[in-house]
Structure 1
Amino acid sequence: MMMEDKAFYEKFAEMLEISPAKVNEGLVLKDTSWDSLAVMATIAMIDDIYNVTVPGKKLSQCQTAGDILALVQMETSKKADI
């Protein structure tokens, strides 16, 4: 796991008001307080940590925390291609 991913998981847990120990790739978002406000906050958090902007529509379709990190990797690789 990259250092950025650890920072993401810690901030993500704080935002969702759950224990950081519960946040891993398999965390099912629908079992948390994941809603449109959380999506917006996560976009800002991803921008802050990874310096990349993810589309809100794609982010809102994520099912797990692992899906979010996969989306971040995809958007980061797109940015590197530019």
Structure 2
Amino acid sequence: MVTEEHFRNLGYLKTLMLSSNSFILNVGSDWQPPFQVKTLAVASCHIGSPFPAWLKSQDNLTYLDLSNASISGFIPC
């Protein structure tokens, strides 16, 4: 299980690739990551349901893979 605490000191994180590892991302619904990633690959990880609101804050994404990430619901605007 990966929590907010694991990301606390990663303000310069640009690439996060956790795909195919079955990680569970357990963060609060109001969590704001300390980083702005360009690459986010979390395929086959459980990153939350409904759609994680924290993804809205990632303004620099150039690659995003959410396949099989146990997400349901609407994508927020």
Return the structure number with greater strand share. 2
Same-fold call, TM cutoff 0.5: no
> What interval of TM-score do these two structures reach, taking the shorter chain for normalisation?
under 0.3
